[in-house]
């Protein structure tokens, strides 16, 4: 059985993600003026005295064959995620966390967490890459014709100041898929 690895890079300036804000203190949006390596990223912005903690997330579904370029007659063995984040606009910040970043079914059931939640990001950062673990998803029985959902979570929480604000941005998502010949796993018994 030949095992192959396919890597696809998704730049946020080319994609449409769905954003879901936690308690409503955050705004999830497209940011055209920043990104890596080119401008364009997704961001969560929180403002206001004692706002949060907001558990926010962005999600997007990916078809293994058309979006991730997995050849036909393949089964999906594992998925690994890599992503860049950046924080900016810090004023009276309590907590900011990037992740966890998850692999889910199209029905939004958690399959695996590739990138764990970060430690508290206590100050502004430049673009920083996080590399997740290679997660076994073979139990899903996914084939090249199926799809998965990638969910990018974050948490923002501000302190006691009327000027409190924080922004967390994500861009340059790498989805690394290990796949193998689906036909090699068929066992036939002849009597």
Q: What's the CATH code of the domain at 176?
A: 2.60.120.260
State the Cα–Cα distance between residues 86 and 77, nearest whole angstrom. Answer: 31
107 found inside a domain? yes
109: number of Cβ within 10 Å: 9
State the Cα–Cα distance between residues 90 and 69, nearest whole angstrom. Answer: 39
Cα distances from 33 to residues 14, 75, 153, 162, 172, in angstroms, run: 14, 39, 22, 26, 15
Rg of the Cα atoms in the chain: 19
State the Cα–Cα distance between residues 3 and 41, nearest whole angstrom. Answer: 33
> pLDDT 10s digit of each residue in the chain, 191 long?
578 999 988 876 656 889 999 877 899 999 999 999 989 999 999 999 999 988 999 999 999 999 999 999 999 999 999 999 999 999 999 999 999 999 999 999 999 999 999 999 989 999 999 999 999 999 999 999 999 999 999 999 999 999 999 999 999 999 999 999 987 654 444 54
93 found inside a domain? yes
Q: Please state the pTM of the whole predicted model.
A: 0.91
21 found inside a domain? yes
109 found inside a domain? yes
State the Cα–Cα distance between residues 42 and 58, nearest whole angstrom. Answer: 8
189 found inside a domain? no
190 found inside a domain? no
191 found inside a domain? no
Range of the domain at 121: 3-182
What DSSP character marks residue 138?
A: G
Number of domains, the chain? 1
């Amino acid at each position: 059985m030949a095992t192959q690895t396919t890597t696809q890079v998704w730049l946020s300036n080319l994609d449409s993600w769905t954003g879901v804000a936690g308690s409503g203190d955050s705004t999830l949006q497209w940011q055209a003026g920043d990104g890596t390596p080119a401008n364009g990223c997704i961001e969560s912005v929180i403002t206001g005295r004692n706002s949060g903690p907001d558990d926010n997330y962005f999600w997007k579904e990916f078809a293994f064959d058309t979006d991730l370029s997995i050849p036909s007659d393949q089964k999906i063995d594992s998925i690994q995620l890599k992503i860049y984040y950046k924080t900016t606009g810090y004023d009276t910040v309590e907590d900011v966390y990037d992740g966890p970043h998850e692999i889910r079914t199209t029905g939004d059931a958690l399959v695996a967490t590739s990138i764990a939640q970060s430690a508290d990001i206590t100050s502004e950062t430049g673009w920083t890459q996080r590399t997740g673990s290679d997660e076994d998803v073979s139990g899903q029985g996914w084939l090249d014709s199926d799809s998965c959902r990638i969910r990018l979570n974050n948490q923002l929480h501000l302190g006691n100041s009327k000027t409190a604000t924080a922004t967390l941005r994500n861009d340059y998502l790498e989805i690394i898929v290990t796949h193998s010949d689906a036909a090699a796993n068929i066992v036939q018994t002849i009597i």
